[in-house]
Structure 1
Amino acid sequence: MAPLHWVAIVLSFVATIQNYAGHMEASADIGVCYGMLGNDLPSAPEVISLYKQYGIEKMRLFEPNTAALQALKGSNINITLDIRNQDLADLAASQDAVNSWFNTNVEPYLNDINFNFIAVGNEVIPGSLGGYVLPVMNYLQKILDDKNLHGIKVTTVLPGNALQSSYPPSSGAFTSEASSVLSGILSFLSAKGSPLMINVYPYFAYASDPTDVRLDYAQFTAKSAVVRDGSLSYYNLFDAMVDAFFAAMEKAGRGDVGVVVSESGWPSDGNGNFTTPKLAGTYNRNFVKHITSKVGTPKKPGAYIEGYIFAMFNENQKPSGVEQHWGLFYPNKQPVYPKVLHWIALILSFTATIHNYIGLIEVSPFNGMQ
């Protein structure tokens, strides 16, 4: 092959990769929630190895578990760390209380773990604990500012019932109870460039009303628009739910705040024909495909939205009546739907490979050559 022809091929490949990378963030857009409500789950080091085996670069921890944090050291897995709901009242009492929490649960790991977010409470708005969220956020932010830890963002997690209206998506609006505490929180997020975390579950909408909520609409498989909202067309319920939050934030005067989908998933058992491995695998595969495609939503085309699958394992200690089969894996580390997990691993591995390649391009000695 002539040298110039070879160079042209290489440059074409590099241009393609760089173009692709231009649509990517610093790490993969998909994470998985590491729930621990089980007495038969693998050890923390085994879990971290499983994340790495499947190319999962982001994890959400629902509490600062010492064993998990120790195992995460040097893993390069990006972490969202939750503050437990039951700790909010005590932490909201003073800066010293939050300092102590930070010094115990974050400070010792800063050199060895990549913290992306600290989530102040999970689904406490609306609710009696909601008023504690903003004070704790402010105390945490002071610590991060004082230590120049600008890469760690402070946020909180909202459930779907924070919305009084969500259909059609443009009617999205927060409940009056949620609005009373969200005004200050959204101002905080806007000022700090932090996203709001939202839990988005099309499964619950479908399972509660299968007559009016189509399965293909809930599973990203509809071939034509199912809902039309003004000039916008919705092919999947996920986008409609996310856009309802965007609309609610606009109505609250904070349309500049982005979102992270902190939980989404579909159980593989526990509710008859609504929960099968096939349905769960289809949803999670299409969720990954949708998030990594970076299409955004009809209301926010091209918006960067990262998403977290709920959850890593089936957990046997959930409250009675709650599906215990949300996991990608059984407690013995075997995949619940192997073909889908293999596909997800390939997608995440490809993303990681691109990131590594871009890193090489950025330090290439040829970058300055004309």
Structure 2
Amino acid sequence: MASRAFYLLISPILLFSAIVVSDAAGSVGINYGRVANNLPSPEKVVELLKSQGINKVKLYDTDATVLTALANSGISVVVALPNELLAATAADQSAADNWVQSNITKFYPQTKIEAIAVGNEVFVDPKNTTNYLVPAMKNIHASLVKSKLDSAIKISSPIAFSALQISYPSSSGSFKQELVEPVIKPMLDFLKQTGSYLMVNAYPFFAYSANSDQISLDYALFKNNPGVVDSGNGLKYQSLFEAQIDAVFAALSAIQYDDIKMVVTETGWPSMGDENEIGAGEENAAAYNGNLVRKVLNGSGTPLRPQDPINVYLFALFNENQKPGPTSERNYGLFYPNEQKVYNIPLTVEELQGGQSTPVNTSTSQAPPVGGEVSKTQVGQTWCVANGKAGEEKLQAALDYACGEGEADCNAIQPGATCYNPNTLEAHASYAFNSYYQKNTRAAGTCEFGGAAYVVSQRPAYGNCEFPTGN
């Protein structure tokens, strides 16, 4: 994801894009970032993806353990050649050949690699790698040709919104002039020649947060609103995201590349942010992502291209605790590292039958879900886990109660016992809270502990120790 600074423009419109899955509806994939030290193993992540009906995933590298875990999973994968390899790949065909051999042909077709993202948001890379982009893309493609994989695996490169000079109104969309001849046109020519598509990263959140006095929150979240009429073409927009999409279409049209397809390779909304990050929060994140998924899976296009399905990769699978920058950067995940949902949204056509997208937590705080009731999507077996955001003091007091007056079975988390590891307050509290919850037959109110716990519908990951269930 690009730095927020690149999105704080005078225009209230951001960026967009699309990818193809069927004639009737778009597709929803997810970005699997790993800038964290507390994530589950790749094998567990693949099981999580499958359990959620997610069959498209985008990576930021070609990590061997991840690609091996994805083998024979049925999940389509977009991999990435990092920006730091662009110069070498652009300069030397043998370097490109070696990279493809080591990172693509070694895993394909067992791992369904469908595209390679050559670089990421290269135009805003502080190391100034723009000049290497198209030569690197061409060399990687030549390597795929040698391996007879060029028809199966597409090549593109995600661009950030800063590639647009004008984005409002959408009909006036245009690319920055200094980029058009040197790199935009050559890249688009390459995409046309190889039958590929343009990748775009789009974040309405940044535009709204920087211009909340001018942009309606309902407009940014796909909620009911009066809409915005484009003064240039007279089209009416009901969401900021659609306006962003059409701004890119307009920019392409302005340089005679109307037939280029697109993919939204990143889009999302943070569930938590700093005080100055207006709009960040669970309720808004659930609304944005949930309503976007509905629009994509319902098959509706944009005002400018109503027949073209929109396809997206949500950002991101997990909250990533080692990402630098503002608080929002670490809180885009649909899931906590313990594999529990940050909030409930539909991710498949089947789930669309289920109704609203809402935060799991209905309180106004930005903590994980609290309370004993199970949401509509949490059916069958449930467990009780600790709310890590409650603070050490509250967690310790609740743990002491559960193991004392609550008479939870805490023998297994004593030093040397089978569930002592992971040896953290949150892990031990989760085990104790769940013991209490199951002992009390999962009754409403038995997973509260003053806001220190919440109910989940998937068995929590707990090292090598299995969480007990009730009968």
Name the TM tier (shorter chain).
0.7 to 0.9
Say yes or no: does 1:247 pair with 2:284. Answer: no
Which of the pair is proportionally richer in helix? 1
Offset, 1:148: 3.0
TM-score (norm 1): 0.84
**Counterpart in 2 of 1:186?**
188
Runs (5+) with no aligned partner, structure 2: 1-20, 354-471
Match of 1:294 among 294, 299, 319: 299
Match of 1:310 among 310, 315, 331: 315
8 Å Cα contact 2:105-2:147 kept in structure 1: no
Identical amino acids, percent of aligned pairs: 38
SS of the residue aligned with 2:117?
strand
Q: How does 1:29-108 map to 2 (within 5 A)?
A: 29-108=27-106
Offset, 1:143: 2.3
8 Å Cα contact 1:56-1:348 kept in structure 2: no
Say yes or no: does 1:169 pair with 2:167. Answer: no
8 Å Cα contact 2:271-2:331 kept in structure 1: yes
RMSD: 1.8
8 Å Cα contact 2:227-2:236 kept in structure 1: yes
- Indicate the structure whose relative CO is greater, using CA pairs within 8 Å and at least 6 residues apart: 1
8 Å Cα contact 1:126-1:177 kept in structure 2: no
Match of 1:260 among 257, 260, 263: 263
After superposition, what is the alpha-carbon deviation per residue over 1:260-287, rounded to whole angstroms, capped at 9, x for unaligned?
Answer: 0000000000234621111101111111
**Counterpart in 2 of 1:219?**
221
8 Å Cα contact 1:54-1:348 kept in structure 2: no
SS of the residue aligned with 1:42?
coil
After superposition, what is the alpha-carbon deviation per residue over 1:16-69, rounded to whole angstroms, capped at 9, x for unaligned?
Answer: xxxxx97347xx711000000100111111111100000000000011111111
Provide closer, same or farther for how the CA distance between residues 307 and 126 of structure 1 changes in structure 2, counting only shifts above 3 A. same
Letter in 1 for 2:141: Q
Say yes or no: does 1:139 pair with 2:139. Answer: yes
Offset, 1:348: 6.5
After superposition, what is the alpha-carbon deviation per residue over 1:226-283, rounded to whole angstroms, capped at 9, x for unaligned?
Answer: 2334231111010111111111111122111011000000000023462111110111
Q: Distance in 2 between matches of 1:349 and 1:36?
A: 29
Letter in 2 for 1:59: V
- Deviating more after overlay: 285-294 vs 55-64: 285-294
After superposition, what is the alpha-carbon deviation per residue over 1:179-207, rounded to whole angstroms, capped at 9, x for unaligned?
Answer: 12111001111222211000011000001
8 Å Cα contact 1:163-1:172 kept in structure 2: yes
Q: Distance in 2 between matches of 1:96 and 1:145?
A: 13
8 Å Cα contact 2:170-2:230 kept in structure 1: no
8 Å Cα contact 2:33-2:320 kept in structure 1: yes
Q: How does 1:270-349 map to 2 (within 5 A)?
A: 270-272=273-275, 274-321=279-326, 323=328, 324-338=330-344, 340=345, 343-345=346-348, 347=350
Offset, 1:145: 2.5
Runs (5+) with no aligned partner, structure 1: 1-20, 351-370
Offset, 1:224: 3.2
Letter in 2 for 1:234: Y
Aligned length: 325
Give structure 1 regions of 4+ aligned residues with deviation exceeding 6 angstroms.
none
SS of the residue aligned with 1:119?
strand
SS of the residue aligned with 1:122?
coil
Q: Distance in 1 between matches of 2:351 and 2:78?
A: 18
Provide closer, same or farther for how the CA distance between residues 42 and 22 of structure 1 changes in structure 2, counting only shifts above 3 A. closer
Q: Distance in 2 between matches of 1:168 and 1:259?
A: 20
Letter in 2 for 1:314: N
Offset, 1:113: 1.2
**Counterpart in 1 of 2:160?**
159
TM-score (norm 2): 0.66
